[in-house]
Amino acid sequence: MAGYLVIGLGTFGRSVAQTLYENGKMVLAIDQRDERVQKVIDDEIVSDAITLDVTDENSIKKVINDDFDTAFVCIGDNTQSSVFVTVILKEMGIKTIICKAKNELQGKILKKIGATSVVYPEETMAKETALGVIRPNITEHFKFSEKYRVFEIKAPKDFNGKNLIELNLRNKYEMNIIGIKDEKELNIMPLPNTIIRENNVLLVIANIEKMTLFGKKYVL
């Protein structure tokens, strides 16, 4: 089984490492701080962890071998170190390199030198926090395409007693209901005559821009 490297054990890196490990993956965690490394070992949330100067090319190459094909570079606070590590990993043939970045400029640099993808955890968290206040009854699950995403919505009061035909959400908001959940079960692919109740939770694929209009109309 191919392993995962997590370089940098701040809040973000630690969370990545723990999530991978809890899902049955082999995880080697690396950080320059002894206390961070010891903490993940004590908490038993990684397969192994070592203290290493990530700016030392020889040390990195001694530790990393063919057992790893995916790396998370979670040292976005230090652009120079992040760039250095990404270049070394690319030269070593690591197939997938996912880098944390603090801003768009840093992200562009990392992409140009070999990062497979770049994540902006602070920006993402800020958006999710703001949207959680603006529309507390809408939960965004994942990006389906550039225009569409999957959302979970608490059914508005105005929907109570109406069926999917009457609501006409597809034409109004480019929204398709793919599941309806109540206290007991989840109804996958509901029929057009399915009645919505106030306590239902709707699983939908929706146009991102239209979802904003939907939220404003129903004061979610």
Domain coordinates in residue numbering, the chain? 3-121, 128-217
**Distant-in-sequence, close-in-space partners of 150: CB < 8 Å, separation ≥ 6:** 140, 141, 142, 144, 178, 203, 204, 205
> Which residues in the chain come in under a pLDDT of 70?
1, 76, 123-146, 219-220
Q: Residue 182 phi/psi, 5° resolution? A: -120, -165
Q: Which CATH number fits domain 128-217: 3.10.20.440, 3.40.50.300, 3.30.70.1450, 2.60.120.580?
A: 3.30.70.1450
Q: What is the pLDDT of residue 144?
A: 54
Q: Please give the pLDDT value at position 119.
A: 87
Architecture of domain 3-121 in CATH? 3-Layer(aba) Sandwich (3.40)
- pLDDT at position 124: 61
Q: What pLDDT, on the 0 to 100 scale, is given for residue 149? A: 80
Q: What is the pLDDT of residue 67?
A: 84
**Whether this model's pTM surpasses 0.85:** no
